[in-house]
Structure 1
Amino acid sequence: MTVLTGDRPTGPLHIGHYFGSLANRLALQDTHEVFVLLADYQVITDRDLPGEIQRNITDVLLDYLAIGLDPAKVTIFQHSALPELNQLLLPFLSLVTVAELGRNPTVKDEIAHSSQAAVSGLMFTYPVHQAADILFCKGTLVPVGKDQLPHIEVTRTIARRFNERYAPVFPVPEAMLSRTPLLGGLDGGKMSKSRGNSIALKASEDETAALIRRAVTDADRRITFEPETRPGVATLLTIAGLCSGREPRELAEEIGDGGAAALKRLTTEAVNEFFRPIRKRRAELTEQDARAVLAEGNERARAVAIRTLEEVRQAMGF
């Protein structure tokens, strides 16, 4: 089994990333071949400029190492270091229709929250880029959040159509959902770096406390776990439950009439306790550590990409 997963380096990772995908990667690195992608080219899918791209790449790498990803077991690489990924994109684009891309609900949501004045072709074809990322290493398992399932379905379609039209080169990958496929943000919506409603893994304990104090709740003093009608309260209970290993309903009953203040104190303590050793390890790492890991990973991943592209060319008759 080969696993492909990764992140866009748009800033440091947050606790939603940890429970949504990073924890899965830690479990898989001892039993599977794991490729972890820093999708730097994909940063400009929904923005005009990439921002502090090198700083963000370093931040994400340090987050990876701090949580315990082992470069001896996991291949961590950068999209722009593998030109073969973009060469795979061309034949893959020929295997999907404009109508199929237009129906993708995740792309529609990303477009709605894009900072661009108009939808770029890169944004529209984002799922096909992800297909190239997954299939270059013949990924069979893709740990994702629930919102990414439509993208995985595009990859599965491309793999099947290539195999049927040319030759059986690619496996048809499966999605792997985490225990927490979609963690809410501090404003009651989806947790996202771009929406400013997240808690960074590297945040200090004081920063974490300040962020949680500003979290959206409601006026009802009695704390209950009702995700549909009380999303803000439910999000804090879910975060506290994940960090403490307890059920959100149990925590709600324990807080009772303590109100939002008690809920926020409990959540702050749980988050800071859980992430304290990760933050300590991150503070001990250097940028040189990150650069060395990336250079080695890029070399390993590119060797795989070159082999796969040659297979594709042969299958297509080029």
Structure 2
Amino acid sequence: MDSFSVTATRSAELAREISESPEEFRMLTGERPTGPLHLGHYFGSIIERIRLQGQGVESFVILADYQVITDRDSMPRVREYVHGAVLDYLAAGMNPERTTIFTHSSVPALNQLLLPFLSLVTEAELHRNPTVKSELAASGRALSGLLLTYPVHQAADILFCKGNLVPVGKDNLPHVELTRVIARRFNERYGTVFPVPDALLTATPEVPGLDGRKMSKSYGNAIALGMSADETAATINRTVTDSDRRITFDPASRPGVSALLTTAGLCLDEAPEKIADRLGDTGSGALKALTIDAVNDFLADHRARRAEFAADPGFVERVLARGNERANAEAARTLDEVRQAMGTIYG
């Protein structure tokens, strides 16, 4: 059985264990705030976090602002993106009383785990990481030490709070696997301090961007959750389709048309093929109009709640202050355990 099949089998077991004993789990998840959150984030991860929160899983959500340093274009706006992400989390139903929302840069003790963790991995292991490879290829620049060690930063993010559950898509499994390796190697060398976390494969679909590629901030093909209805309409209307009036779902040959069908289908909870059959020969104009209505109707309540939270200029700061305080307390406890295990307590 290959590693993905093993993880899939374990994920099914985890789902049963979570439903029976949610208090046994501590989830760590999050993202790099390199741009506004979009529909891909919503369907791909946010709704899964809300579901686990609702089941009673203790949850930590990190906004990894230090990891944005590798993206030179995003860093000047990182504060804006962090605040926007918190607004979207809250609008989607994340409860700051039950989920600790914090920023990487605000937890110094977390970063002190990097040195012992870096001693536990090889350069070859870091170079093999798919995210390091793809980020390097996309940047067109020399590989920085920060980017090379990105997977170890993620391991520190997960382990500082003794996270034992990490919801991920298939593409992010290598990160969790390296975290598992680091946890095992630390425990073998110094004594058991860290849980060996499990990856929980999410069943949510990959949301295509409006050009047919994966929806991504970096591709400029995303529908941001915080867009207005008019901005959403303008973005969808710019989608490149084709001259065939017959609407069909064919991602390989008709990426733009198929991306619109998928987006509408997710928002309407309907198969894209069924929407295509219903539209028939009405052309791409009708498809775009349907998609605009589907997205704007789906996001209407989210946007209204987001606007309510944004109307209180200090609310996001208070949420982050509370989350950062909790994360710092967790990191200090863990660092004390690490120093005890390593024999570096001097008084």
TM-score band (shorter)? over 0.9
Residue number among 187, 194, 197 corresponding to 1:170 in the alignment = 194
User: What is the aligned partner in structure 2 of residue 210 from structure 1?
Assistant: 234
Counterparts in 2 of 1:267 and 1:58: CA distance versus 1, 3 Å: same
Q: Name the % identity.
A: 64
Are 1:301 and 2:334 an aligned pair?
no
SS at match of 1:51: helix
User: Which of residues 246, 264, 278 in structure 2 aligns to 1:254?
Assistant: 278
* Whole-angstrom CA distance in 1 between matches of 2:264 and 2:326: 39
Distance in structure 1 (CA, Å) of the matches to 2:201 and 2:313 = 31
Instruction: Indicate conservation of the 8 Å contact 1:10/1:51, yes or no.
Output: no
Contact kept in structure 2, 1:139 and 1:171, CA below 8 Å: yes
* CA-CA distance at 1:41 after TM superposition: 0.4
Q: Is 1:313–2:336 an aligned residue pair?
A: no
Q: Residues 201-240 of structure 1 correspond to what in structure 2 (within 5 A)?
A: 201-240=225-264
Shift of 1:271: 0.7
The answer to whether structure 1 residue 287 and structure 2 residue 313 are counterparts is yes
What is the deviation of 1:82? Answer: 0.5
Q: 1:178 to 1:108 in 2, by over 3 A?
A: same
Q: Residues 72-127 of structure 1, C-alpha deviation per residue, up to 9 Å, x if partnerless?
A: 1110111111011111111111111111111112221122222x632211111111
Deviates more, 1:182-191 or 1:37-46: 182-191
- Is the Cα–Cα contact under 8 Å of residues 146 and 181 in structure 1 kept in the other structure? no
Q: Secondary structure of the residue that 1:113 maps to in structure 2?
A: helix
The 1-side partners of 2:254 and 2:341 are apart by 54
Q: 1:170 offset after TM fit, Å?
A: 1.7
**Counterparts of 2:200 and 2:207, CA distance in 1:** 16
CA distance in 2, matches of 1:271, 1:123: 35
* Other structure's SS at 1:297 match: helix
Instruction: Report the Cα distance in structure 1 between the residues aligned to 2:264 and 2:220, rounded to whole angstroms.
Output: 20
Contact 1:4/1:36 (CA < 8 Å) preserved in 2? yes
Q: Quote the Cα distance in structure 2 between the aligned partners of 1:112 and 1:154.
A: 21
Equivalent residues of 2:34, 2:74 under 8 A apart: no
- SS of 2:166's partner is strand
- The answer to whether the 8 A contact 1:46-1:110 is kept is no
Question: Structure 1: any 5+ residue segments left out of the alignment?
Answer: none
Equivalent-residue separation in structure 2 for 1:231 and 1:181 (angstroms): 16
Q: With structure 1 as the length reference, what TM-score do the two structures score?
A: 0.94
Report the alpha carbon displacement of residue 48 of structure 1 after superposing the two structures with TM.
6.8
Distance 2:110 2:137 in 1: 27
Instruction: Give the secondary-structure state (helix, strand or coil) at the position aligned to 1:9.
Output: coil
Give the CA deviation at 1:186. 1.4
Output the CA distance in 2 between the equivalents of 1:48 and 1:247: 37
> 1:206: how far off?
0.8
For residues 103 and 273 of structure 1, do their structure 2 counterparts lie closer, same or farther at Cα, with a shift above 3 Å needed?
same
Question: What letter is aligned with 1:69?
Answer: M
Equivalents in 2 of 1:11, 1:49: separation in Å?
A: 7
2:217 aligned partner, one-letter code: K
Residue 83 of structure 2 aligns with which residue?
A: 58
Q: Which residue number corresponds to residue 118 of structure 2?
A: 93
For residues 1-318 of structure 1, the aligned pairs below 5 Å read: 1-30=25-54, 31-47=56-72, 50-114=75-139, 117-285=141-309, 286-318=312-344
Residue 119 of structure 1: SS of its match in structure 2? Answer: coil
Q: Distance in 1 between matches of 2:158 and 2:192?
A: 16
Q: Quick one: distance in 1 between partners of 2:170 and 2:30?
A: 15
Q: Provide the C-alpha distance between the structure 2 equivalents of 1:193 and 1:279, rounded to a whole number of angstroms.
A: 19
Partner of 2:19: none
Change (3 A) 1:267 1:119: same
Cα RMSD (Å) = 1.7
Matches of 1:91 and 1:126, distance apart in 2: 15
Between the two proteins, the alignment pairs up a number of residues equal to 317
- Is the partner of 1:227 in helix, strand or coil? coil
